[in-house]
Amino acid sequence: MNLKAKLFIGCSVAIGTGVACFAFSQWHSGDLRRFVFYVLVAMIASGLKVILPGINGTMSVNFLFILIGVLDMTFPETVALGCAAALVQSFYGAKSKVGLVHLLFNLCNVITAIGAAFVAYHGLAPLFGHSIPLMLTSAAVAYFLFNTAPVSIIISLTENKTFRKVWSECYFWSFPYYLVGAGIAGAISVASRYIGWATPILVLPIVYWIYRSYRLYLGRLEDEKRHVEDMAELHLRTIEALALAIEAKDQTTHDHLQRVRVYALEIGKELKLNNDELEALRAAALLHDIGKLAVPEHIINKPGRLTSEEFEKVKIHPVVGAEILQRVNFPYAVVPIVLAHHESWDGNGYPYGLKGEAIPIGARILSAVDCLDALSSDRQYRRALPLEDAMQMVVQQSGIQFDPAVVDVLKLRYRELERMTRAEPEMSIQRLSTDVKIDRGDAPAAGFANIPAVLPVHIPAQASFLSSIAAARQEAQTLFELSHDLGKSLSLDETLSVFSVRLKKLVPFESVAIFLRRENRLVPTYVSGENFRQLSHVEVPLGQGITGWVALNEKPIINGNPAVDPGYLIDTSGITLRSALSVPLASLDGTIGVLTLYRAEPEAFTRDHLRILLAISAKLGMSIQNAVRFQLAEDSATTDYLTGLPNARSLFLHLDQELARCKRANSSLAVMVCDLDGFKQINDRLGHLEGNKVLRLFADSLRANFREYDYVARMGGDEFVIVVPGLAREIVEQKAAQISQFATLIGQQVMPDGFLSGSVGTAFYREDGEDAEELLAESDRRMYIVKQIHHEEEATLLAMRSGQPYTATIN
């Protein structure tokens, strides 16, 4: 409750108290029985009350008995009757506890109204020639005004509503009932003179009829109000669903809409917008970007500056949004705000070039807060600015792009508003204006992408036509050599290395990265240049950043911002890449990857650079696909598909190379052959899938417990070979014991009641042989000796479990 409301209540209570003191100080009763009877009937009538629409208040028909009191009772009796009726109305059937201030205000208001009615009836009698009908009408009007006006005033002060609106919506509709009540009171007064003072008992049916009329009338009002609210809610939810559909095209939209809504409403309240204007602003803040449904997705999500053609397409979204919302028939002016939210204070906005106060106030508020939120949020083409820096940029545009009054309020409250955001009929289908051309608007806020159509940078800007001819021949020759080199090698690294060297003669760059697609991610397969450290960490989800956008949309980007790629590291030395030229690499199976060139200068690449990359990107994509397929085929020929270890073919090649090295360096080499004892039981009892799992676990254990340059291979089945150079015999024997332990532990995990172990045989270079066949044969023979020992141990263990004696015989 504000100060004005407190002062008004204090004055009302003081006046009412004064009137009551005056009345009760002159107490006298003409007929005490009649007084008591009238009070009881009035209290009964006070229980027949209705809830007023739009406010927390009630109204009863006790005014009829107050008017009877004005006619037939003394002033003190009428005041006492009014207080009793007011108390019953306040407490009977109350849904919440009535406060002391509320009760005092109600009582004093009724007392003051009774005093006004007595003055109007008796004091103005000479003015009306002592005409009873006119006197009674003036008393009813006075009581109505003094009873309803103070309540309307206090509601307007506490709920920030206009007095006129509260009084007209909540009370004025009841004025005819007061006039009817005056007529009934006059009739009862006349009848009581002939029938007796108990006549008011006959009026109770009339009182009930008036009460029912109240109820029916207010019921219809409430139904109509509820219907309007339901329709408005339905409209809002329907359009909100459409607004959220924009998220499928622009992932920043939903949070952006919520923040803009909070900012806009609070600034609207600060600028004293009325209720209808605030409701229109609330809806427009949520729906202002709905026209983006008509803008192609690849333009909305483009992680770089727009071309002039792309911006022409973006400029239609206020028009389309207004056309969509025009069909909703909002009860407040939402459409003008949406249509004008890109207009500029100086008249340079779009779509119509409105200027100054010709722009709707809601659009002026929305324009400023929309810009502030866009600057302080991550966008596809740049990272978010600190909120203070974003606010400073908005202030700089005050009086140019934005309404200065709006900017002043925003500057004072933007920190507070940011905290608030962190804490919460059938229409004819018409074709939307997706093909219109907007003449207004010179450039987007970020400016156009600067793509000068110039010659390659190694040609002077003032070159003669002879130099141009020579440059064209040089470009053709380099392109021919590059295409020829791409088909020479099936090695992926060699292909990409040769390509980057040749490409630099055509398109100058400081760094190059070639990303290949791995399911839904793009991985840097080849990175070269001065910014290797910054770019080698960039691993991009499909659709994100420059690289992800190019791969998803299969469209190139020129002079994009490299820093928007996920994983990009900002160089602490201050060297920042500011330009990126990125093109998709196509193959027979679709986009296989992305080629991106980087430079530190802004706007460093030209249309000619893009043209050259597009001319060779298809050839590069096919070459990469061929190299990848060759690498896969080569890997499958030398790699065991189940464990990922080298296979037997690869083992013999490697072992021959190691033996040749040992002969030259006179160094040592051990060959270990390992076999899993009891593995057949796992396949027989648990199935081959479980057996495959055991083989993979065992292979992983071998890889983890040998050195990087030791060679672990799978010969086939459950047999593995390890080539170990440069280890002493004692350490090799320790490794063999560890292998057996690995197998036992894996067996206990998979089949606790089984018997799995590893048998290892080892042969040493020179001592046991000098070629691969001899070493493998000796290792295999020793492995079988160990295997026989393990079989005897297994048989002994089984006999002990069954309780039968067993005699081992070792050959």
DSSP assignment of 127-147, as one string? Answer: TTTT-HHHHHHHHHHHHHHHH
Domain termination site, one of 422, 451, 486: 422
Distance CA 788, CA 675 (A): 12
Q: What is the CA radius of gyration of the chain?
A: 46
Average pLDDT for 26-43: 80
Helix 75-91, helix 63-72: angle, nearest 10? 170
Q: Is there a domain that residue 439 lies in? A: no
The CATH number of whichever domain residue 65 belongs to comes to 1.10.1760.20
Cβ contacts of residue 129 below 8 Å, gap of 6+? none
Cβ–Cβ < 8 Å for 739, 702: yes
Cβ–Cβ < 8 Å for 424, 416: no
Look-up: residue for tokens 């509503």? Answer: 161
> What pLDDT score does 711 carry?
92
Q: Are residue 279 and residue 220 in the same domain, yes or no? A: no
pLDDT of residue 453 exceeding 50: no
Q: Are residue 719 and residue 625 in the same domain, yes or no? A: no
pLDDT of residue 703 exceeding 90: no
Burial class (CB in 10 A: 0-12, 13-18, 19+), 148: buried
Q: Are residue 286 and residue 367 in the same domain, yes or no? A: yes
Average pLDDT for 699-716: 88
Q: Are residue 76 and residue 165 in the same domain, yes or no? A: yes
- State the amino acid at position 791 in one-letter form: H
Q: Are residue 523 and residue 671 in the same domain, yes or no? A: no
Q: Is there a domain that residue 430 lies in? A: no
Distance CA 327, CA 64 (A): 49
Q: Are residue 563 and residue 690 in the same domain, yes or no? A: no
Q: How many residues in total does the chain contain?
A: 811
Domain that includes residue 108, residue range: 3-224
What the block records as the tokens of 503 is 């490409």
Distance CA 297, CA 292 (A): 9
Domain termination site, one of 189, 224, 259: 224
Q: Are residue 218 and residue 255 in the same domain, yes or no? A: no
Percent of the chain with pLDDT over 90: 13
Q: Strand locations in 270-359, DSSP E?
A: none
592-634, pLDDT tens digit by residue?
A: 899 999 998 888 898 888 888 887 787 777 778 777 777 666 6
User: pLDDT class for 531, splitting at 50, 70, 90?
Assistant: confident
pLDDT of residue 761 exceeding 70: yes
What the block records as the tokens of 603 is 């706007």
Q: Are residue 723 and residue 795 in the same domain, yes or no? A: yes
Q: 431-436, long-range: CB within 8 Å, 24+ apart, which pairs?
A: 432/294, 432/320, 432/323, 432/324, 433/316, 433/319, 433/320, 433/323, 434/294, 434/316, 434/320, 436/316, 436/319
> What pLDDT score does 325 carry?
83
Average pLDDT for 449-454: 53
Average pLDDT for 493-509: 80
Q: Is there a domain that residue 497 lies in? A: yes
Q: What's the number of domains the chain is made of? A: 4
Q: Are residue 216 and residue 253 in the same domain, yes or no? A: no
Buried b (16+ CB within 10 A) or exposed e, 348-366: ebbbbebeeeebbbbbbbb
Q: Are residue 190 and residue 282 in the same domain, yes or no? A: no
Q: Strand locations in 192-262, DSSP E?
A: none
In the three-class reduction of DSSP (H, G, I as helix; E, B as strand; rest coil), residue 596 is classed as strand
Helix ranges, 47-131 (H)? 63-72, 75-91, 100-118
Helix 679-686, helix 688-705: angle, nearest 10? 140
Buried b (16+ CB within 10 A) or exposed e, 588-623: eeebbbbbbbbbbeeebbbebbbebbeebbebbbbb
Q: Which of 98, 110, 86 is nearest to 20 (CA)?
A: 110
Average pLDDT for 752-764: 84
Q: Is there a domain that residue 433 lies in? A: no
What the block records as the tokens of 55 is 């406010």
The CATH number of whichever domain residue 751 belongs to comes to 3.30.70.270
Distance CA 708, CA 726 (A): 13
> What pLDDT score does 741 carry?
85
Domain termination site, one of 596, 613, 637: 637
Q: 292-297, long-range: CB within 8 Å, 24+ apart, which pairs?
A: 292/246, 292/249, 292/250, 292/253, 292/317, 292/321, 293/242, 293/245, 293/246, 293/249, 293/320, 293/324, 294/320, 294/432, 294/434, 295/249, 297/248, 297/249
> Angle at the Cα of 644 (from 642 to 650), degrees rounded to 5?
110
The CATH number of whichever domain residue 270 belongs to comes to 1.10.3210.10
Average predicted confidence (pLDDT) for the chain: 79
Evaluated on CA atoms 188, 189, 191, 195, the torsion sign reads positive
Q: Is there a domain that residue 456 lies in? A: no
Q: Is there a domain that residue 230 lies in? A: no
Half-sphere exposure of 519 (CA within 13 A, CB side): 0
Q: Is there a domain that residue 239 lies in? A: no
Q: Are residue 475 and residue 519 in the same domain, yes or no? A: yes
222-256, pLDDT tens digit by residue?
A: 677 677 667 767 766 766 666 666 555 555 555 67
> DSSP character for 56?
S
Residue 523 neighbours by CB distance under 10 Å: 14
Average pLDDT for 412-428: 72
Q: Which of 666, 780, 681, 771 is nearest to 725 (CA)?
A: 666
Distance CA 742, CA 715 (A): 18
Q: Are residue 270 and residue 403 in the same domain, yes or no? A: yes
Spatial strand order in the sheet of 540-541: 540-541, 521-529, 511-518, 590-599, 579-587, 557-560
Q: Is there a domain that residue 441 lies in? A: no
The CATH number of whichever domain residue 584 belongs to comes to 3.30.450.40
What the block records as the tokens of 778 is 């000796």
In this structure, of 54-68, 302-316, 454-468, 785-799, the range with the lowest mean pLDDT score is 454-468
In the three-class reduction of DSSP (H, G, I as helix; E, B as strand; rest coil), residue 807 is classed as coil
98-113, pLDDT tens digit by residue?
A: 778 888 888 898 889 8
